[in-house]
Amino acid sequence: MSRPGRKKTARVALAACLGITAALASAQEAYRLDPAYRLTLPVEPVVPQEPLPLIATPILAPDRPFAREIDAAARAADLDPALVHAVIAVESAYRPAAVSPKGAVGLMQLMPGTASRYGVTRLTQVEDNLRAGTRHLRELKHAFGPRLDLVLAAYNAGEGAVRRFGNEVPPYRETRAYVPAVMERFQSLAHTGPPAPPRRQNSVRDYLAGTRLEPLSLLQLD
């Protein structure tokens, strides 16, 4: 390529880089102005994989997006589905393509480095994101035991931050707002619970005037 051609190519590349930098700066500013703001990425095509186990029990919050996938992933990780729903509602508002300015991706807003610990790289795929997110949440539950506030603080700010502040919720504004927000949603969903299966009513029939007998008794008398 001639020298003028190389210079033209360099100018085009520089312009593209400046355009990307400006777009990222604009996104960062929008996020600061509106904490609910999220960038979005195209959802990656679904790759055939081993399906999550089917759950025979009633699904929690069946009207919520991805309710069946969330329920299966939560139970596979031995977590309460209500807790996973609460984390997702606060983290991404159920948007699988949500991306934070810090680079957290997907339903459970995982950083790529965290997800890679669980062998997951395609973070906008719902089932992959749920697998990594629920396993990470389970590890934090093992680390902090019954202290759900510390589990959630570690999910938001990192386990190291919780340890540095003496196993207490770190004094970060975002974390101090995040923990009660998730706990409130969790308690609301846990209180509501999955829809109860229909109760079987014992069938009765008239046999003698003024007497109501169970079917087994009727068989014995007939």
Catalytic residues: 91
67's CB contacts (< 8 A; 6+ apart) are: 59, 60, 61
User: Taking the alpha carbons of 159, 160, 166, 170 in that order, is the dihedral positive or negative?
Assistant: negative
CA distance 176 to 104: 19
Closest CA to 106 of 41, 182, 24: 41
Return the SS3 of 170. Answer: coil
- For 94, 136, 152, the CA distances from 38, given in Å and listed in that order, are 12, 22, 21
